Amino acid sequence: MAGTFDLIGSHTVTAAAGDAAINFTGIGTSHDDLYVLLECYGTTAGTLQLNCNSNSSNVWSGFGRQFTATGTTADFMDTSSAAKTKFNAALVNNYQSNMSLYEMYFTGYRDTAVQNVPIINYRNISASYDVRVGDSFAAFGAGTSSNATAITAINLNLDTGNFGQNSRCSLYGISNTI
Amino acid sequence: MPTVTEVNVTTGVTTNREMTSEEIAVQEASNAVQKKADDAAAVVAAQVATDKASGNSKLKALGLTDAEITALVG
């Protein structure tokens, strides 16, 4: 059971050109789980994809579902059975003032024998929400990875363009009470 | 040149640097693999939708109602 959340790293993109990648490194083993909160803007129009990896090369597989305000649904993330090197999640119209908010829990991140399972919960907040309801959506998903070493780094990037200015990513360590 | 921000949570030091050519190549290759998988999945999904519509039309041609078709195939 989650007890305390300790902020152990944070980054806000300040450069007008944005950052191509945000990496948290040097993650120790003093917590039980990790939590990543990403407030994300893109720098290019259209549908972008968030790529999340651990230790730069861990293989993840996962599945997720997204729901729009108009009632349509679609699969997102990795929908194949093949092993993937990244844990993917779709962003829709993540552009300029459209923000996507991501939450990822890396449970058992320091375990060296048991699979690590993150859960993603995200929503897209469109600047044009009032007139284009379909731009706003929510989604959830889960992925799993079996690694022989603890997660010491989390790597984030977009498939196209950069994390836009004012994007903010925070990493928390969670200490469980039981 | 794209930049990478590294936040070392042990030292608290944040470093912003240009991506190396190797990192760019790895990222581009990975994204290309993912795009290929996504494109393939989209083709499969489109074919499934086409087959579903075609099958539905054929069942209707046989005289089945929408409710009967739904009861049969969900």
Domain range summary for chain A, segments of one domain joined by +: 1-69+80-112+156-178
Please give the full DSSP string across A79-147, using - where no structure is assigned. -SSS-BSSEEEEESS--TT-EEEEEEEEETTT-SSSPBEEEEEEEEE-TTTTT-GGG-EEEEEEEEB--
Q: pLDDT tens digits, residue range A128-159?
A: 444 444 456 677 777 777 778 899 999 998 87
For chain A, the residues whose C-beta falls within 8 A of a C-beta of chain B are 8-11, 13, 15, 17, 19-28, 49, 51, 78-80, 82, 84-86, 88, 157, 159-160, 162, 171
The nearest alpha carbon in chain B to A22 belongs to B5
Kindly provide the ipTM of the predicted complex, given to two decimals.
Answer: 0.79
pLDDT of residue A131: 40
d(CA A176, CA A4): 7
At residue B68, does pLDDT exceed 80?
A: yes
> Quick one: which of A51, A75, A55 has its CA closest to A137?
A75
Pick the more confident residue, A173 or A66.
A173
> Quick one: which of A89, A148, A80 has its CA closest to A114?
A148
- pTM here is 0.77
Q: pLDDT tens digits, residue range A35-82?
A: 999 988 888 766 677 888 888 777 777 777 777 666 667 666 654 545
> Quick one: which of A163, A52, A72 has its CA closest to B4?
A163
Percentage of the residues of chain A whose pLDDT score is greater than 90: 24
Q: Say whether B42 sits in a helix, a strand or coil.
A: helix
pLDDT of residue A69: 65
Partners of B41 on chain A (C-beta within 8 Å) are: 79-80
What's the average model confidence in pLDDT over A1-5? 74
